[in-house]
Amino acid sequence: MINFRFHLISLIAVFLSLAIGVVFGSTVMDRAIVDGLEQQIERVETKADEQRAANSELSRALEEQNQFLHDASPILVEGRLSLRTTAVIAMRGIDDDAVAEWVTLLREAGSSTPYVIWLEPRWALATPADEVALASLLADSDGASAEQLRRSGLRLLSERLADGGYPPASPQIDPQSLRDNTRSFLAAVFGEAILPAVTTAAPAPGATEESNVAATTTTTEAATTTTTATAGTPDPASQVDPLEAMVELGFVSLDPAGAGESVELADYPGSEAIAAVLGGQGGQLAPDAVLLPLIQQLGLRDVPTFAGEVVSEASSEEAGTVVGPIRRSPSLSRVVSTSDDLSTFEGQLAAISALDQLTDGVVNHLGTRDDAQSVVPTPIVR
């Protein structure tokens, strides 16, 4: 038989043990765990403070390096592009501060860069009104698609830049070469029998070359030639500077970008200019529809051409959309220099050297992407 007193004492002992365990666990054991966690937190905070100090030191060193590059840039680039004009053509929407910073470097290098030519969103030809406006600049554009009009307009722009001004400078003709070429042409077309009809009067004493040419008389039948204008050429009836017309119609904008020099639009960009075509992050036009066709047309006209990307984030979907196709092209990669790093000051400095070497026919593909050749150009011996 169970003794009630013994049973009561047992129950009291059990509950007393539970109470002691709860008190002990919530004081002594919990305190040990808390102390351990606090020590770990202190160690993490100490490491974080050390890392922040190291990062601050690196940031300070980087700022000093960048400041040195900015301060030394006039000396580093001085004279690299003397007596050259750089026509900067940029797609609207990219970082205009980065573009302006690079234009400043171009001027410090001695380049005449009076304008930035901004390609406006109207090149997308998103509306019929845009198509009509562009077609008004082109001859024989009836029935042309938007893509055909855009390519023709870009071809017209490239021709205008390659010409160096409007109207294009007329080549100087040597009088003797004119006589020789005329004689050869007539012999090829009409045969030797026509040559006696081409006579050159004996030069009078003191006569100039111009008077000698005027003394040349030719007896031939009048020939009638018919010239057919093609899309991509200016309308002969307009007699308007294509670049000026594109500005008025809103296809391009001319930004002096703080230029101190004044250049007449009719004389811009001048002979032997370098074309620098810029695109990148935030651009409001498709590079494959506008920039790449323009670059191809400039290359066909033997214009020294540079293509650059202004991309602040390497992971951006727009990274490589300008320089990538050029670097993959067997033909363009041999004549067009590229840089994928125009968003940094170091990349902008390297691009100045690339333009300098481009005038000597040396092509570079600079930047940090996998398809770049190097970060800076290899020095050349002149």
pLDDT, tens only, 72-86? 777 788 888 998 999
Q: What is d(CA 301, CA 158) in angstroms, rounded to the nearest whole number?
A: 8
Beta bridge partners of 306: 276, 337
Q: What is the pLDDT of residue 281?
A: 92
Q: What is d(CA 121, CA 78) in angstroms, rounded to the nearest whole number?
A: 35
Q: What is the pTM of this model?
A: 0.69
Residue 218 pLDDT > 50: no
Mean pLDDT, the chain, whole residue set: 81
Residue 364 pLDDT > 90: yes
State how far Cα 20 lies from the chain centre: 79
Residue 259 pLDDT > 80: no
Q: What is d(CA 66, CA 71) in angstroms, rounded to the nearest whole number?
A: 9
Question: Under the phi-then-psi rule, with left for phi > 0, alpha for psi from -120 to 50, and beta for the rest, what region is 143?
Answer: left
Q: What is the pLDDT of residue 180?
A: 63
Residue 190 binned pLDDT confidence (cut-offs 50, 70, 90): low
Helix (H, G, I), strand (E, B) or coil at 127: coil
CATH: 3.40.50, 1.10.10, 3.30.70, 1.20.1440. Which one for 79-166+241-366?
Answer: 3.40.50
Residue 376 pLDDT > 80: yes
Residue 300 pLDDT > 50: yes
Q: What is the pLDDT of residue 34?
A: 75
Q: What is the pLDDT of residue 184?
A: 59
Q: What is the pLDDT of residue 63?
A: 81
Higher pLDDT, 46 or 1: 46
For the chain, the structural domain boundaries read 1-77, 79-166+241-366, 172-230
Instruction: Read off the tokens for 176.
Output: 């003797």
Residue 28 pLDDT > 80: no
Q: Name residues whose C-beta falls within 8 Å of residue 139's C-beta, 6 or more positions apart in sequence.
A: 229, 230, 231, 233, 234, 235, 236
Q: What is the pLDDT of residue 252?
A: 97
Summarised one tens digit per residue, pLDDT across range 82-117 is 989 999 999 999 999 999 999 999 999 999 999 999
Residue 302 binned pLDDT confidence (cut-offs 50, 70, 90): very high
Summarised one tens digit per residue, pLDDT across range 138-164 is 987 788 999 999 999 999 999 999 999
